[in-house]
Chain A
Amino acid sequence: MSPSVNSPSLYRRLLIWLLVPMLALGTLMLIQAYLASRDTADRAFDRLLESASLSIAEQVKRQQGQLWMDLPPAALKMLASNAEERVFYALYDAHDNFISGNAELPRIDDGQGNMRFTNIQWHDMSLRLGVRRSQLEGWRDRQPFEVRVAHTREGREALTQTLFQGSMLRLIAMAILAIGVVLLGVRMALMPLTQLRRAIRARDPRTLAPLDLTLPRELAELRETLNDLLARMRRVRANQERFIGDASHQLRTPLAGLSARAELALRQDDPRAWHDALGVMRGSADKTARLASQLLSLTRLNNPESMPEARDIDLCDIARQAVRDALTSCHRAGIDLGVETPSHAVIQHAVQWQLAEALANLIDNASRYGASRITVRVGEAPTRLEVEDNGPGIPEAQRLLVLRPFHRGMEGGQGSGLGLAIVDGITRAHAARLTLVPARPNAEPPGLRVRLHFTEESTP
């Protein structure tokens, strides 16, 4: 498969998961850097408010029963930096009465200490306000008062910008470095994957030998899984090769027989002999045709790509039909063929032709291996199909072997050796269980009962 454009790339996914959080983190750091810069600038400029208010407070005296001050011009100059801030100051007494100043500034109620700072909006201006609480250090009265100073934020903003630009440049440099490292790291981490892909692609397509490649732990697991799959494929191929070998051998034998028989008949001049020979040849051809059709069934069963259509069917119908189909040939061979079904339908989800094939094979098998009485039975709880005969049966040691293709239970028998293999294949396809047991364990011959148990999950 070629990598499609839409399929998610591992590389891209890794990059997204690494870079998106990194960018989010970077943004957070930028915000933090800005806040820190502003804080630093505020603290630096708050010192100006502090010293200006102090130098004003030092000039506050009591004169003629009133608060009095000789405003030092330097204190106001102090409030303005190079940014030429607008400056405001005011002196208030203990009862919040305006004594003097160029603006009526608000007080700050919350906060602690003698010096308090806050940001205020005042007549469409953003101001930083500093309020100093102080008191007269006289001999007699110690009257408290407040010096309030404020200025606009231009200087603070300029300093914030300068500081922030510095941190921003550093952050950007770090981000570029980090992105580079991430790109490199992801590429390096995904390198073994590329190695694996190359190793697989470079292989001879017919080779099923295990991959031998040093890989990191996570990929080593994948390699082991691949090797397991390859091992299974090797076994499957061996089976297939053997099956093909067996099948060609089986087909060659009757064809060779046909050819020999025809040659023998050709040497004779007696039409009767020709007639006999043709009769034998027809029987041989029939047998070969049957073998070929069985091989075809087996192939169809073993083909993993085929998806037969299953539906709910009545097992009794299947059993009766199978008996009807086999009745003529059994009658000719003098075999007693019977069917036992419950009076009602037994429904099972299954593939009809496969079950019919299985029953036909079982009846055929029994009739070929010397049974004189065959019974087809449908049972319930669990749902099952049975074919029972009174033939010689199969010794216990042989019971698994007979399920393999081309294994005949008995030398010299007339079967192709595929019947039980086909039944086994059908049973597997239905996820049912196949059991082979003697019909009458203590009698001689013991006979054979072949049973298909359908289980809960029995659907093809």
Chain B
Amino acid sequence: MTTPCRLPVHWAVALAGMMLSAMALANDAHVLRYAAAHEATAQPLEIYGALDNDLMAPLLADFHARYPDIELTYRNLTTLTLYRRFLAEDEASADVVMSSAMPWQYQLANRGHAQALTTSAARQWPQASRWRHELFGFTFEPVVIVYRRDALEGATPPDSHETLLRLLTNERQRLKGRVVTYDPWRSGAGYTYATEDAHMSPRYWELVAALGGVEAALADTTGEMLDGLADGRYAVGYNLLGSYARDFVADHPQLEMVIPSDYALVTQRLVLIPKRARHPEAAKRFVDYLLSRQGQQVIRDKTPLGAVHTALQGEGTARDLRKTLGGAIHPIAIDPSLLATLDTLKRHSLLERWQREYTRLSESGP
């Protein structure tokens, strides 16, 4: 990873591509199919999602077991393809669209492209995890710090933004080139986190400067960062997606995952049913299932995504995280401020500032 150094003019052209790429771990489109039990009564249902097949499979299998008459097709796309496909009017629409790219999903719903779901599960869904009855956050994934135990021997391991800043400042020489974080220029998720971080505290810019000071590497995906941490290239990773990191860290004993205790951003996958959905009945059944206790239980037990349902508890659930972290938990709000993230000028302003802070220490430093 090299330090990005682009002219502002360029990214106005390449904007959409840069923003939307790399939200999902797998870029290549995979398709999962579940045939209906009886061909005659089969109801088709087409789901487009920016979620890896192995994460989706348990959910889809369980759903299919409950509704064997639905002929299920799951298409795994990148968030960019998803968004583009959606807006291409001539394309046949999916019945359900799921994505972790919160601002884009919000933008679609805001433009009136989604239809309302008013089943009892939808009505009881926590207010903070839905917008109108059109957009539902069905996962609860904290943004975390991951570090290698062996690399930080003798230093205080970071458990908050505050201690991370101190670590980066104190161990600047030792950590040079061994810290990794999202590239806000290339990764939509990284940009969203940067916006939220900057919004949370002005001291975030000190942290960016410190990251620049240690010449932190910039990655596109959480997977990339985890791989780098596992093979020892990096000692500390900042702003990784907790849902992926949790299982990975469990498999790699030298790694440690920390949910920052001062504030922990939480991102949610948002699901919507397009107005143009060809099979709205089946789509409503699926989303209702996602929000139901059974669906959420599968999410809790068989995926690392984190259940939102208020009645569920256990590791990784929203209820558990709220209980352990209390006020520090900070889900990214599903409200119009997400639209500000998408503003081109806003994006330019923020990234320019980010770039300035990032290069501050390296230019003036020793």
Contact = CB atoms under 8 A, between A and B. Distances in A.
A84 B131 contact: yes
Interface residues of B, number: 20
Interface in B316-350: 335-337, 339-346, 349
Contact of B345 (A77, A80, A84, A100): A100
B340 A87 contact: no
Nearest to B195: A73
A378 B335 CA distance: 114
A103 B346 CA distance: 15
Contacts of B169: none
Interface stretch (A2-10, A64-72, A220-228): A64-72
B112 A125 contact: yes
Contact of A102 (B131, B132, B335, B339): B339
B199 interface: yes
Contact of B112 (A72, A102, A124): A124
B72 to A, nearest CB: 31
Nearest to A76: B336
Interface in A52-76: 64, 68-76
A86 B337 contact: no
Nearest to A64: B8
B339 A70 contact: no
B10 interface: no
Given A73-B199, A77-B336, A87-B339, A100 B344 contact: yes
Given A80-B335, A84-B132, A73 B112 contact: no
B107 interface: yes
A64 B7 CA distance: 13
Interface in A72-108: 72-77, 79-80, 84, 86-89, 91, 99-103
A77 B335 contact: yes
B111 A103 contact: yes
B131 A71 contact: no
Contacts of A68: 345, 349
Contact of B343 (A71, A77, A86): A71
Contacts of B341: 73
A198 interface: no
Given A68-B345, A86-B111, A101-B343, A77 B132 contact: no
A323 B151 CA distance: 160
A86 B346 CA distance: 20
B27 interface: no
Contacts of B292: none
Contact of A86 (B110, B340, B342): B110
A93 to B, nearest CB: 12
A230 B132 CA distance: 83
Contacts of B340: 71-73, 75-76
Contacts of B337: 73-74, 76-77
Interface string B149-191: 0000000000000000000000000000000000000000000
Nearest to B199: A73
Nearest to B132: A84
Interface in B69-107: 107
A80 B112 contact: no
A383 B336 CA distance: 106
A125 B112 CA distance: 8
A206 interface: no
Residue of A73, A91, A103 with most chain B CB atoms under a 10 A cut-off? A73
Contacts of A102: 107, 110, 339, 342-343
Contacts of B131: 84
Contacts of A89: 339
A102 B337 CA distance: 12
A91 B337 CA distance: 16
29 contacts: A64-B8, A68-B345, A68-B349, A70-B349, A71-B340, A71-B343, A71-B345, A73-B199, A73-B337, A73-B340, A73-B341, A76-B336, A76-B337, A76-B339, A77-B337, A80-B335, A80-B336, A84-B131, A86-B110, A87-B110, A88-B110, A100-B343, A100-B344, A100-B345, A102-B107, A102-B110, A102-B339, A102-B342, A124-B112
Given A76-B337, A79-B336, 5 more contacts: A72-B340, A73-B340, A74-B337, A87-B339, A100-B346
